[in-house]
Amino acid sequence: QVQLQESGPGLVKPSETLSLSCTVSSGSISDFYWSWIRQPPGKRLEWIGDIHYTGTTKYSPSLNSRAAISLDTSRNQVSLRLDSVTAADAAVYFCARSPVTTYSKNGRDHIWPGAFDSWGQGSLVTVFS
């Protein structure tokens, strides 16, 4: 069974860059989508963005282009970089996996992320100076 484990510094200063990694074990990065999702204390889950194993990325507009997600297939890792952090970025950060699903539109098949079927335990990030 696949396991996901987030890692990274738990403390980040305002205006600095947050960098997190997610190591995937007992499974391959290939043939899936990989997302970063965060949960501020007492708030709902917020999707940050995802990356298809081919490298295509999509992000939530709410991050104002501050987020970047990448893959390192040699290390079986998915990484998140978040620039110019503020107190509002304090949260537990999860990586999560989605299967690749397909749908048809205008006679052509397209791929699309399924639901998040595996999650890491989460990495708590605190922002303070």
Partner 1 sequence: IVLTQSPDSLAVSLGERATVNCKSNQSLLYSSNNKNYLAWYRQRPGQPPKLLFYWASTRESGVPDRFSGGGSGTDFTLSISSLQVEDVAVYYCQQNYERPFTFGPGTRLEIK
Under the binding rule (CB under 8 A), the answer on residue 53 touching partner 1 is no
Note whether 120 and 96 are within 8 A (CB).
yes
CB of 74 to partner 1, least distance (A): 26
Which of 32, 34, 36, 116 touches partner 1 by CB under 8 A? 116
Which of 10, 41, 61, 65 touches partner 1 by CB under 8 A? 61
Nearest in space to 30 (alpha carbons), one of 57, 51, 47, 48: 51
Q: Which is nearer to partner 1, 108 or 128 (CB)?
A: 108
Which of 44, 54, 74, 88 touches partner 1 by CB under 8 A? 44
Query: CA-to-CA distance for 69 and 126, rounded, in angstroms?
Result: 20
Under the binding rule (CB under 8 A), the answer on residue 41 touching partner 1 is no
Sites of contact with partner 1 (CB under 8 A)? 35, 44-47, 58, 60-62, 94, 96, 98, 103-105, 112-117, 119-122
